[in-house]
Amino acid sequence: MWQSAGSVEDYSEDEPSTVSVGGKQIAVYLIEGAFYATAALCSHGRALLSDGYLEGEEIECPLHQGRFHIPTGRALCKPLTEDIATFDTKVEESILYVKIPEDPA
Ligand code: FES
């Protein structure tokens, strides 16, 4: 289900953000004009990825420097053993939408 993540003007290149979308914490990235969304928390610990270091399409966790590939959520190096969730994004009339899967009832 597509949920609003606010105005595209609230986001800037090279500055990932953590936002609440549809009751979930999501990390949003704007990379070369394209929006990406992943789980907000690292799969290794309770670190917010938006506090990490963004380089190209990779985000480095601020706690133990594990790196993820943002478009796929793939864990790229130790100490990570698990990928993170990714979410589809779209922009309509300057509003960013993130597709949040419905929780099974
Ligand atoms: S909490 Fe992210 S690498 Fe350890």
Q: Which domains does the chain have, with CATH numbers?
A: 2-99 (2.102.10.10)
Q: Write the CA distances from 82 to 38, 73, 77, 95, integer angstroms.
A: 13, 9, 10, 31
Average pLDDT over the chain, rounded to an integer: 96
User: What's the predicted TM-score (pTM) here?
Assistant: 0.95
pLDDT value, residue 104: 65
Query: Rounded mean pLDDT of 20-39?
Result: 96
How many Å lie between the centroid of ligand 1 and the Cα of residue 43?
7
Q: Which atom of ligand 1 is nearest to the CA of 61?
A: 2
pLDDT value, residue 101: 87
Tens-digit pLDDT profile for residues 56-92 = 999 999 999 999 999 999 999 999 999 999 999 999 9
